[in-house]
Structure 1
Amino acid sequence: MSESNDKSESELSNEAFTPVENEQSEFVKLNVGGFLFQTTIATLTKVDCMFKGMFSEGFEAKKDPEGWILIDRDGKHFGKILQFLRNMKVTLPDNVEEIREILTEAIYYLIEKLTVLCESELRICREKKKCALITSNNESAMFIIRNSFKPVVKLYISQTNLLDKCNTLTSITNLYRHVNLFDKLCSNTDGRIVYIKNLAKDDTRCYWTFYEHHGKQVGFIDCIFNTLPQITVSFSEGQIYEKVLQLLVND
Protein backbone atom coordinates (compact mmCIF):
# COMPACT_ATOMS: atom_id res chain seq x y z
CA MET A 1 0.00 0.00 0.00
CA SER A 2 1.34 3.48 -0.81
CA GLU A 3 0.59 6.97 0.49
CA SER A 4 -2.41 8.81 -0.95
CA ASN A 5 -0.18 11.03 -3.06
CA ASP A 6 1.70 8.09 -4.56
CA LYS A 7 0.61 6.17 -7.64
CA SER A 8 -0.19 2.50 -7.58
CA GLU A 9 2.56 0.02 -8.42
CA SER A 10 1.01 -0.91 -11.74
CA GLU A 11 0.69 2.72 -12.83
CA LEU A 12 4.25 3.59 -11.83
CA SER A 13 5.85 0.49 -13.33
CA ASN A 14 4.39 1.27 -16.77
CA GLU A 15 5.76 4.83 -16.89
CA ALA A 16 8.84 5.57 -18.95
CA PHE A 17 11.71 7.34 -17.20
CA THR A 18 13.93 9.36 -19.53
CA PRO A 19 17.42 9.94 -18.19
CA VAL A 20 18.70 13.52 -18.35
CA GLU A 21 22.24 14.74 -18.70
CA ASN A 22 22.59 15.58 -15.01
CA GLU A 23 22.36 12.22 -13.26
CA GLN A 24 21.46 13.94 -10.01
CA SER A 25 18.14 14.95 -11.60
CA GLU A 26 17.30 11.41 -12.70
CA PHE A 27 14.15 9.98 -11.19
CA VAL A 28 14.38 6.84 -9.12
CA LYS A 29 11.67 4.45 -7.92
CA LEU A 30 11.76 3.28 -4.33
CA ASN A 31 9.89 0.43 -2.70
CA VAL A 32 10.15 1.06 1.03
CA GLY A 33 8.57 -1.88 2.83
CA GLY A 34 5.79 -2.07 0.24
CA PHE A 35 5.20 1.71 0.03
CA LEU A 36 6.06 3.13 -3.40
CA PHE A 37 7.76 6.48 -3.97
CA GLN A 38 9.28 8.47 -6.82
CA THR A 39 11.92 11.14 -6.30
CA THR A 40 15.25 12.32 -7.66
CA ILE A 41 18.76 11.39 -6.68
CA ALA A 42 19.36 15.10 -6.06
CA THR A 43 16.66 15.12 -3.38
CA LEU A 44 17.92 11.95 -1.73
CA THR A 45 21.52 13.19 -1.63
CA LYS A 46 20.83 16.81 -0.69
CA VAL A 47 22.32 16.28 2.77
CA ASP A 48 24.95 13.91 4.10
CA CYS A 49 22.98 10.77 4.89
CA MET A 50 22.71 7.09 4.02
CA PHE A 51 21.44 7.83 0.50
CA LYS A 52 24.72 9.46 -0.52
CA GLY A 53 26.41 6.10 -0.07
CA MET A 54 23.55 4.24 -1.71
CA PHE A 55 23.78 6.30 -4.89
CA SER A 56 27.55 6.61 -5.01
CA GLU A 57 29.44 5.15 -7.95
CA GLY A 58 29.75 1.39 -7.84
CA PHE A 59 26.96 0.75 -5.36
CA GLU A 60 24.61 -2.00 -6.50
CA ALA A 61 21.09 -1.39 -5.23
CA LYS A 62 18.81 -4.38 -4.79
CA LYS A 63 15.82 -4.14 -7.15
CA ASP A 64 12.62 -6.09 -7.68
CA PRO A 65 11.73 -7.50 -11.14
CA GLU A 66 10.03 -4.22 -12.14
CA GLY A 67 13.02 -2.08 -11.33
CA TRP A 68 11.98 -0.70 -7.94
CA ILE A 69 14.90 -0.16 -5.55
CA LEU A 70 14.12 -2.20 -2.45
CA ILE A 71 14.63 -0.65 0.99
CA ASP A 72 13.87 -3.05 3.82
CA ARG A 73 12.28 -0.52 6.18
CA ASP A 74 8.75 0.38 7.29
CA GLY A 75 7.59 2.87 4.67
CA LYS A 76 4.81 4.35 6.83
CA HIS A 77 6.71 7.61 7.43
CA PHE A 78 8.99 7.69 4.39
CA GLY A 79 6.83 10.46 2.93
CA LYS A 80 7.89 12.62 5.90
CA ILE A 81 11.52 11.72 5.20
CA LEU A 82 11.16 12.87 1.59
CA GLN A 83 9.28 16.01 2.62
CA PHE A 84 12.16 16.97 4.90
CA LEU A 85 14.82 16.23 2.26
CA ARG A 86 12.95 18.31 -0.33
CA ASN A 87 12.23 21.34 1.87
CA MET A 88 14.59 20.98 4.85
CA LYS A 89 11.54 21.28 7.09
CA VAL A 90 8.57 19.10 7.95
CA THR A 91 5.43 19.28 10.08
CA LEU A 92 5.64 16.52 12.66
CA PRO A 93 2.49 14.78 13.96
CA ASP A 94 1.11 15.49 17.45
CA ASN A 95 1.28 11.80 18.32
CA VAL A 96 4.34 10.96 20.45
CA GLU A 97 4.54 7.39 19.17
CA GLU A 98 4.58 8.54 15.55
CA ILE A 99 7.32 11.08 16.30
CA ARG A 100 9.35 8.25 17.84
CA GLU A 101 8.81 6.17 14.71
CA ILE A 102 9.99 9.06 12.49
CA LEU A 103 13.00 9.52 14.78
CA THR A 104 13.88 5.83 14.36
CA GLU A 105 13.82 6.22 10.58
CA ALA A 106 15.78 9.50 10.69
CA ILE A 107 18.49 7.78 12.73
CA TYR A 108 18.56 4.80 10.32
CA TYR A 109 18.90 7.08 7.29
CA LEU A 110 21.52 9.21 9.15
CA ILE A 111 19.59 12.47 8.63
CA GLU A 112 21.05 14.51 11.49
CA LYS A 113 18.86 17.62 11.39
CA LEU A 114 15.64 15.63 11.28
CA THR A 115 16.92 13.58 14.21
CA VAL A 116 17.50 16.80 16.18
CA LEU A 117 14.03 18.08 15.28
CA CYS A 118 12.32 14.85 16.38
CA GLU A 119 14.28 14.68 19.63
CA SER A 120 13.39 18.30 20.41
CA GLU A 121 9.72 17.68 19.71
CA LEU A 122 9.74 14.62 21.97
CA ARG A 123 11.19 16.70 24.80
CA ILE A 124 8.35 19.16 24.33
CA CYS A 125 5.77 16.38 24.41
CA ARG A 126 7.27 14.86 27.55
CA GLU A 127 7.11 18.15 29.43
CA LYS A 128 3.65 19.42 28.59
CA LYS A 129 3.74 22.14 31.21
CA LYS A 130 7.41 22.94 31.32
CA CYS A 131 7.93 23.22 27.61
CA ALA A 132 11.58 24.31 27.54
CA LEU A 133 14.73 23.55 25.61
CA ILE A 134 18.26 24.55 26.60
CA THR A 135 20.91 25.01 23.92
CA SER A 136 24.25 26.72 23.45
CA ASN A 137 24.02 26.50 19.67
CA ASN A 138 22.16 29.39 18.02
CA GLU A 139 21.91 27.51 14.71
CA SER A 140 20.11 24.60 16.41
CA ALA A 141 17.79 27.03 18.19
CA MET A 142 16.84 28.75 14.93
CA PHE A 143 16.29 25.40 13.21
CA ILE A 144 13.80 24.41 15.92
CA ILE A 145 12.10 27.83 15.77
CA ARG A 146 11.60 27.68 11.98
CA ASN A 147 10.07 24.20 12.22
CA SER A 148 7.92 24.66 15.33
CA PHE A 149 4.14 24.43 14.87
CA LYS A 150 3.75 26.35 18.16
CA PRO A 151 4.74 29.92 19.08
CA VAL A 152 8.26 30.22 20.45
CA VAL A 153 9.81 32.45 23.11
CA LYS A 154 13.63 32.54 23.18
CA LEU A 155 15.80 33.97 25.92
CA TYR A 156 19.32 34.58 24.65
CA ILE A 157 21.63 35.11 27.59
CA SER A 158 25.39 35.10 28.06
CA GLN A 159 25.06 34.68 31.79
CA THR A 160 28.65 33.84 32.74
CA ASN A 161 30.21 36.72 30.76
CA LEU A 162 27.64 39.20 32.04
CA LEU A 163 28.23 38.20 35.65
CA ASP A 164 31.91 38.95 35.12
CA LYS A 165 31.28 42.34 33.54
CA CYS A 166 28.29 43.70 35.48
CA ASN A 167 29.50 46.12 38.15
CA THR A 168 26.24 46.86 39.97
CA LEU A 169 24.08 44.75 42.24
CA THR A 170 20.97 45.85 40.29
CA SER A 171 22.31 44.43 37.02
CA ILE A 172 23.33 41.15 38.62
CA THR A 173 19.91 40.86 40.28
CA ASN A 174 18.15 41.60 36.98
CA LEU A 175 20.19 38.91 35.27
CA TYR A 176 18.84 36.31 37.71
CA ARG A 177 15.34 37.75 37.32
CA HIS A 178 15.44 36.94 33.61
CA VAL A 179 16.40 33.34 34.32
CA ASN A 180 13.70 32.99 37.00
CA LEU A 181 11.05 34.54 34.75
CA PHE A 182 11.96 32.11 31.98
CA ASP A 183 11.44 29.15 34.35
CA LYS A 184 8.18 30.63 35.62
CA LEU A 185 6.79 31.16 32.11
CA CYS A 186 7.64 27.59 31.13
CA SER A 187 5.36 26.31 33.89
CA ASN A 188 2.43 28.64 33.27
CA THR A 189 1.44 28.34 29.60
CA ASP A 190 0.35 24.67 29.61
CA GLY A 191 2.55 23.59 26.71
CA ARG A 192 1.08 26.08 24.24
CA ILE A 193 4.41 27.87 23.76
CA VAL A 194 7.88 26.45 23.17
CA TYR A 195 10.55 28.10 25.32
CA ILE A 196 14.21 28.09 24.32
CA LYS A 197 17.02 29.30 26.54
CA ASN A 198 20.00 30.02 24.29
CA LEU A 199 23.07 30.06 26.54
CA ALA A 200 25.78 32.08 24.79
CA LYS A 201 29.47 31.81 25.62
CA ASP A 202 31.39 34.45 23.72
CA ASP A 203 29.50 37.74 24.03
CA THR A 204 27.69 39.93 26.56
CA ARG A 205 24.06 39.98 25.49
CA CYS A 206 20.66 39.33 27.00
CA TYR A 207 17.46 39.60 24.97
CA TRP A 208 14.05 38.02 24.44
CA THR A 209 12.69 37.16 20.98
CA PHE A 210 9.09 36.18 20.27
CA TYR A 211 7.96 34.09 17.29
CA GLU A 212 4.68 32.91 15.88
CA HIS A 213 4.68 29.32 14.58
CA HIS A 214 7.23 28.41 11.88
CA GLY A 215 9.58 31.22 12.82
CA LYS A 216 7.78 34.49 12.10
CA GLN A 217 9.38 37.00 14.49
CA VAL A 218 6.82 39.30 16.11
CA GLY A 219 8.73 40.83 19.01
CA PHE A 220 12.16 41.64 20.41
CA ILE A 221 13.25 43.06 23.77
CA ASP A 222 16.91 43.96 24.28
CA CYS A 223 17.86 43.95 27.96
CA ILE A 224 21.42 45.34 27.74
CA PHE A 225 22.55 48.94 27.88
CA ASN A 226 26.21 49.08 27.00
CA THR A 227 27.61 52.28 28.49
CA LEU A 228 31.30 51.43 28.47
CA PRO A 229 33.07 50.51 30.63
CA GLN A 230 29.87 49.51 32.41
CA ILE A 231 27.18 47.08 31.21
CA THR A 232 23.67 47.55 32.58
CA VAL A 233 21.06 44.77 32.54
CA SER A 234 17.43 45.95 32.53
CA PHE A 235 14.39 43.87 33.46
CA SER A 236 11.10 44.78 31.78
CA GLU A 237 8.85 42.08 33.22
CA GLY A 238 5.64 43.79 32.06
CA GLN A 239 6.80 44.01 28.44
CA ILE A 240 7.84 40.36 28.41
CA TYR A 241 4.48 39.23 29.81
CA GLU A 242 2.68 41.38 27.26
CA LYS A 243 4.52 39.76 24.35
CA VAL A 244 3.82 36.26 25.70
CA LEU A 245 0.11 37.06 26.09
CA GLN A 246 -0.01 38.35 22.50
CA LEU A 247 1.39 35.01 21.29
CA LEU A 248 -1.25 33.11 23.26
CA VAL A 249 -4.08 35.31 21.94
CA ASN A 250 -2.89 35.05 18.31
CA ASP A 251 -2.20 31.30 18.40
Structure 2
Amino acid sequence: MSEAVPSESYPVTDRNRVKRLHERGRYDRESVHAILDGAMIAHIAYVIDGQPYCTPTAFWREGEHLYWHGSSASRMLRAQRDGLPVCLTVTHLDSLVLARSGFNHSADYRSAMCFGTARIVEEPEAKARALDAMVDRFYPGRSADLRASTAQEIKATMVVGMEIEEASAKVRGKGLSDEGEDMDLPIYTARYPVVQVIGAAEPCPRLPAGTPVPPGLAGFTAGRRLDELMLENHRIRFGGE
Protein backbone atom coordinates (compact mmCIF):
# COMPACT_ATOMS: atom_id res chain seq x y z
CA MET A 1 0.00 0.00 0.00
CA SER A 2 1.21 3.52 -0.81
CA GLU A 3 1.75 5.98 2.03
CA ALA A 4 0.28 9.47 1.88
CA VAL A 5 2.98 11.89 0.75
CA PRO A 6 2.93 15.48 -0.57
CA SER A 7 2.04 15.90 -4.24
CA GLU A 8 5.57 17.07 -5.02
CA SER A 9 6.87 13.65 -3.95
CA TYR A 10 6.72 10.19 -5.45
CA PRO A 11 4.48 7.71 -3.64
CA VAL A 12 6.32 5.59 -1.08
CA THR A 13 5.67 1.89 -1.60
CA ASP A 14 7.29 -1.39 -0.71
CA ARG A 15 9.13 -1.22 -4.02
CA ASN A 16 10.87 2.15 -3.66
CA ARG A 17 11.02 2.61 0.12
CA VAL A 18 14.58 3.01 1.44
CA LYS A 19 14.76 0.20 3.98
CA ARG A 20 18.34 0.43 5.27
CA LEU A 21 19.44 3.76 6.75
CA HIS A 22 16.01 5.11 5.88
CA GLU A 23 16.95 8.57 7.16
CA ARG A 24 19.01 8.99 4.00
CA GLY A 25 15.95 8.45 1.81
CA ARG A 26 14.43 11.21 -0.32
CA TYR A 27 11.16 10.90 -2.23
CA ASP A 28 10.59 14.47 -3.42
CA ARG A 29 10.81 15.02 -7.15
CA GLU A 30 13.28 17.88 -6.80
CA SER A 31 15.89 15.66 -5.14
CA VAL A 32 15.36 12.72 -7.49
CA HIS A 33 15.39 14.87 -10.63
CA ALA A 34 18.56 16.75 -9.60
CA ILE A 35 20.43 13.46 -9.23
CA LEU A 36 19.13 12.17 -12.58
CA ASP A 37 19.76 15.40 -14.47
CA GLY A 38 23.32 15.72 -13.18
CA ALA A 39 24.30 12.38 -14.77
CA MET A 40 25.00 11.17 -18.30
CA ILE A 41 25.07 7.43 -17.60
CA ALA A 42 22.46 5.24 -15.92
CA HIS A 43 22.35 1.52 -15.23
CA ILE A 44 19.16 -0.25 -16.28
CA ALA A 45 18.25 -3.55 -14.64
CA TYR A 46 15.72 -5.98 -16.10
CA VAL A 47 14.98 -9.70 -16.43
CA ILE A 48 14.66 -11.61 -19.71
CA ASP A 49 13.63 -15.27 -19.61
CA GLY A 50 14.54 -15.50 -15.95
CA GLN A 51 18.06 -14.12 -16.44
CA PRO A 52 18.85 -10.74 -14.79
CA TYR A 53 20.84 -8.14 -16.73
CA CYS A 54 22.09 -4.64 -15.96
CA THR A 55 23.07 -2.34 -18.84
CA PRO A 56 24.94 1.00 -18.60
CA THR A 57 23.71 3.58 -21.11
CA ALA A 58 23.40 7.29 -21.78
CA PHE A 59 19.95 8.59 -20.79
CA TRP A 60 17.95 11.76 -20.32
CA ARG A 61 14.79 12.96 -18.58
CA GLU A 62 11.85 14.89 -19.99
CA GLY A 63 9.35 15.67 -17.24
CA GLU A 64 8.24 12.36 -15.74
CA HIS A 65 9.69 10.27 -18.57
CA LEU A 66 13.17 8.80 -18.95
CA TYR A 67 14.66 7.92 -22.33
CA TRP A 68 17.68 6.00 -23.56
CA HIS A 69 18.83 4.63 -26.88
CA GLY A 70 20.84 1.79 -28.35
CA SER A 71 21.24 -0.52 -31.31
CA SER A 72 18.12 -1.94 -32.95
CA ALA A 73 19.92 -5.30 -32.77
CA SER A 74 20.08 -5.16 -28.97
CA ARG A 75 18.25 -8.06 -27.33
CA MET A 76 17.55 -5.91 -24.29
CA LEU A 77 15.93 -3.16 -26.34
CA ARG A 78 13.97 -5.55 -28.53
CA ALA A 79 12.60 -7.23 -25.40
CA GLN A 80 11.16 -3.87 -24.31
CA ARG A 81 9.00 -3.49 -27.41
CA ASP A 82 5.86 -4.78 -25.69
CA GLY A 83 6.73 -3.34 -22.29
CA LEU A 84 9.33 -4.59 -19.83
CA PRO A 85 9.55 -3.74 -16.11
CA VAL A 86 12.88 -2.05 -15.43
CA CYS A 87 14.76 -0.33 -12.63
CA LEU A 88 16.98 2.59 -13.64
CA THR A 89 19.67 3.79 -11.23
CA VAL A 90 22.15 6.68 -11.13
CA THR A 91 24.96 7.24 -8.60
CA HIS A 92 27.29 10.18 -7.97
CA LEU A 93 30.33 9.40 -5.79
CA ASP A 94 31.19 12.56 -3.81
CA SER A 95 33.89 11.45 -1.38
CA LEU A 96 35.84 8.58 0.17
CA VAL A 97 35.65 8.47 3.96
CA LEU A 98 38.45 6.94 6.03
CA ALA A 99 37.51 6.24 9.63
CA ARG A 100 39.26 4.85 12.71
CA SER A 101 37.55 1.48 12.30
CA GLY A 102 36.78 -0.68 9.29
CA PHE A 103 33.08 -0.60 10.16
CA ASN A 104 32.89 3.20 9.84
CA HIS A 105 34.75 3.50 6.53
CA SER A 106 32.23 4.86 4.07
CA ALA A 107 31.58 7.16 1.11
CA ASP A 108 29.47 10.23 0.50
CA TYR A 109 27.14 9.80 -2.46
CA ARG A 110 23.89 10.76 -4.16
CA SER A 111 21.86 8.02 -5.81
CA ALA A 112 18.45 7.65 -7.41
CA MET A 113 16.39 4.58 -8.25
CA CYS A 114 13.43 4.75 -10.65
CA PHE A 115 10.88 2.07 -11.50
CA GLY A 116 8.67 1.82 -14.56
CA THR A 117 7.76 -0.06 -17.71
CA ALA A 118 10.08 0.53 -20.65
CA ARG A 119 8.60 0.65 -24.16
CA ILE A 120 10.04 1.27 -27.61
CA VAL A 121 9.36 4.69 -29.17
CA GLU A 122 7.99 3.52 -32.54
CA GLU A 123 6.44 6.62 -34.15
CA PRO A 124 9.04 8.01 -36.62
CA GLU A 125 8.61 11.71 -35.79
CA ALA A 126 8.66 11.05 -32.04
CA LYS A 127 11.78 8.94 -32.47
CA ALA A 128 13.53 11.65 -34.50
CA ARG A 129 12.62 14.28 -31.90
CA ALA A 130 13.94 12.05 -29.13
CA LEU A 131 17.27 11.55 -30.89
CA ASP A 132 17.65 15.32 -31.32
CA ALA A 133 16.67 15.81 -27.67
CA MET A 134 19.37 13.36 -26.60
CA VAL A 135 22.08 15.40 -28.36
CA ASP A 136 20.71 18.75 -27.18
CA ARG A 137 20.28 17.56 -23.61
CA PHE A 138 24.05 17.05 -23.33
CA TYR A 139 25.16 19.73 -25.84
CA PRO A 140 22.53 22.52 -26.03
CA GLY A 141 21.49 23.47 -29.57
CA ARG A 142 23.93 21.08 -31.25
CA SER A 143 21.43 19.00 -33.22
CA ALA A 144 20.63 21.99 -35.46
CA ASP A 145 24.30 22.22 -36.52
CA LEU A 146 24.77 18.56 -37.41
CA ARG A 147 24.42 16.63 -40.64
CA ALA A 148 20.92 15.18 -40.77
CA SER A 149 20.71 11.53 -39.77
CA THR A 150 20.23 9.12 -42.63
CA ALA A 151 17.27 6.77 -42.81
CA GLN A 152 19.63 3.85 -42.16
CA GLU A 153 21.10 5.54 -39.08
CA ILE A 154 17.64 6.14 -37.64
CA LYS A 155 16.61 2.58 -38.48
CA ALA A 156 19.71 1.21 -36.75
CA THR A 157 18.96 3.17 -33.58
CA MET A 158 16.23 2.28 -31.10
CA VAL A 159 14.79 4.71 -28.55
CA VAL A 160 13.18 3.51 -25.33
CA GLY A 161 10.94 5.54 -23.05
CA MET A 162 9.75 4.91 -19.50
CA GLU A 163 7.35 6.85 -17.30
CA ILE A 164 8.65 7.13 -13.75
CA GLU A 165 6.05 5.22 -11.75
CA GLU A 166 7.95 5.22 -8.45
CA ALA A 167 11.32 6.63 -7.45
CA SER A 168 13.51 7.35 -4.47
CA ALA A 169 16.86 8.96 -3.76
CA LYS A 170 19.42 8.05 -1.15
CA VAL A 171 22.01 10.57 -0.03
CA ARG A 172 24.97 10.47 2.35
CA GLY A 173 26.87 13.71 2.87
CA LYS A 174 28.08 13.72 6.46
CA GLY A 175 31.73 12.86 5.89
CA LEU A 176 33.57 11.45 8.92
CA SER A 177 31.50 9.53 11.42
CA ASP A 178 33.53 7.77 14.11
CA GLU A 179 32.40 6.41 17.45
CA GLY A 180 32.92 8.83 20.31
CA GLU A 181 35.27 6.47 22.15
CA ASP A 182 37.46 6.17 19.02
CA MET A 183 38.03 9.86 18.44
CA ASP A 184 41.32 10.07 20.36
CA LEU A 185 42.92 7.03 18.74
CA PRO A 186 46.14 8.00 16.84
CA ILE A 187 44.84 6.59 13.55
CA TYR A 188 44.89 8.76 10.44
CA THR A 189 41.39 9.60 9.26
CA ALA A 190 40.20 11.88 6.48
CA ARG A 191 37.66 12.62 3.81
CA TYR A 192 38.86 12.59 0.19
CA PRO A 193 36.50 14.53 -2.11
CA VAL A 194 35.85 12.90 -5.49
CA VAL A 195 34.88 15.11 -8.44
CA GLN A 196 34.43 14.24 -12.13
CA VAL A 197 35.54 17.22 -14.21
CA ILE A 198 35.72 18.29 -17.84
CA GLY A 199 39.21 18.27 -19.36
CA ALA A 200 40.65 20.61 -21.96
CA ALA A 201 39.12 20.18 -25.43
CA GLU A 202 41.13 18.20 -28.00
CA PRO A 203 39.82 19.38 -31.41
CA CYS A 204 39.92 17.02 -34.37
CA PRO A 205 43.23 17.45 -36.28
CA ARG A 206 41.24 17.77 -39.54
CA LEU A 207 38.96 20.52 -38.23
CA PRO A 208 39.03 23.35 -40.82
CA ALA A 209 40.87 26.43 -39.61
CA GLY A 210 38.62 29.08 -38.14
CA THR A 211 35.76 26.71 -37.24
CA PRO A 212 34.14 28.40 -34.23
CA VAL A 213 33.15 26.70 -31.00
CA PRO A 214 29.30 26.63 -30.92
CA PRO A 215 27.65 28.78 -28.24
CA GLY A 216 26.01 25.69 -26.77
CA LEU A 217 29.43 24.38 -25.75
CA ALA A 218 30.36 27.51 -23.78
CA GLY A 219 29.92 25.64 -20.51
CA PHE A 220 32.51 23.00 -21.43
CA THR A 221 35.49 24.62 -19.74
CA ALA A 222 38.44 22.68 -18.34
CA GLY A 223 37.99 21.92 -14.65
CA ARG A 224 34.20 22.34 -14.69
CA ARG A 225 32.29 19.77 -12.64
CA LEU A 226 30.45 17.37 -14.92
CA ASP A 227 27.35 17.05 -12.71
CA GLU A 228 26.96 20.84 -12.50
CA LEU A 229 27.36 21.17 -16.27
CA MET A 230 24.80 18.44 -16.94
CA LEU A 231 22.28 20.13 -14.63
CA GLU A 232 22.85 23.45 -16.38
CA ASN A 233 22.46 21.91 -19.83
CA HIS A 234 19.27 20.10 -18.80
CA ARG A 235 17.75 23.41 -17.70
CA ILE A 236 18.78 25.04 -20.98
CA ARG A 237 17.12 22.28 -23.00
CA PHE A 238 14.04 21.50 -20.89
CA GLY A 239 13.63 24.50 -18.61
CA GLY A 240 12.54 23.90 -15.03
CA GLU A 241 11.11 20.40 -15.52
TM range (shorter): under 0.3
Q: Which structure dedicates a bigger proportion of its chain to helix?
A: 1
**TM-score normalised by the chain length of structure 1:** 0.21
TM-score by length of 2: 0.21
